[in-house]
Amino acid sequence: MKAVPAKRKPESASLRHALHGLALPASVLRALQKRGIYCTPGISLEHQYLAKRYVLRGVESGGAVSDMGRACAFVSPEGDALPWLQSLDSIAVNGRHAIFLAESLVRVEILRTVRTCELAITLHTLSHMPGRNRPEVATTLLFRGRDGVLPIDLWKDEHRALRGKLTPIFYDRAGEVLQLPQRFEEAIRKVTAAVCCVGCKHSHAGVPPVAGGLRP
Question: Where are the domains positioned within the chain?
Answer: 13-194
In the chain the beta strands, taken as DSSP E runs, fall at 44-48, 53-65, 68-75, 86-87, 96-102, 104-113, 116-127, 136-149
CA atoms within 13 A on the CB side of 164: 6
Q: What is the pLDDT of residues 187-214, one digit of tens each?
A: 999 999 999 999 999 999 999 998 654 4
Rounded Cα distance between 189 and 124, Å, is: 21
Q: What is the pLDDT of residues 85-105, one digit of tens each?
A: 999 998 999 999 999 999 999
Q: What is the pLDDT of residues 20-48, one digit of tens each?
A: 789 999 999 999 999 999 999 999 999 99
SS3 call for 182? helix
Rounded Cα distance between 10 and 25, Å, is: 19
Rounded Cα distance between 69 and 176, Å, is: 26
pLDDT, residue 129, reads 86
Q: How far is CA 172 from CA 38, 56, 82, 143, 176, in A?
A: 30, 33, 31, 12, 5
